[in-house]
Amino acid sequence: MLLAYDMQETMSFYTDILGFHVTNTMDDPVQWCALEKDGAEMMFMWAGPPHEHEPGEEHDHTLGIPGVIYFRPDDVKALHESIVGRWPMCEELSVRAHGMLEFAVLDPNGYRLRFGERAS
Dihedral in degrees, nearest 10, Cα atoms 91, 97, 102, 104:
-30
Q: Is position 53 within any domain? A: no
Q: How confident is the model at residue 48 (pLDDT cuts 50, 70, 90)?
A: confident
pTM: 0.85
Q: What's the pLDDT score for residue 56?
A: 67
Q: How confident is the model at residue 119 (pLDDT cuts 50, 70, 90)?
A: very high
Q: Is position 58 within any domain? A: no
Task: Find the CATH number of the domain harbouring 104.
Answer: 3.10.180.10
Residue-level length of the chain? 120
Question: Shortest CA distance to 4 belongs to which of 47, 62, 66, 34?
Answer: 47
State the average pLDDT over residues 29-39.
95
Residue 85, Cα to own-chain centre: how many angstroms? 18
Number of domains the chain is built from = 1
Q: Is position 102 within any domain? A: yes
Query: Beta-strand (E) ranges in 27-90?
Result: 32-37, 40-46, 69-71
Q: Is position 54 within any domain? A: no
Report which residue type is found at 106.
Answer: L
Report which residue type is found at 45.
Answer: M
Residue 22 domain boundaries: 2-48+64-118
Distance (Å, rounded) from C-alpha 19 to C-alpha 42?
Answer: 13
Whether residue 2 has pLDDT greater than 60: yes
- The pLDDT tens digits for 58-111 are 655 566 788 899 999 999 999 999 999 999 999 999 999 999 999 999 999 999
Q: Is position 14 within any domain? A: yes
Q: What's the pLDDT score for residue 53?
A: 65
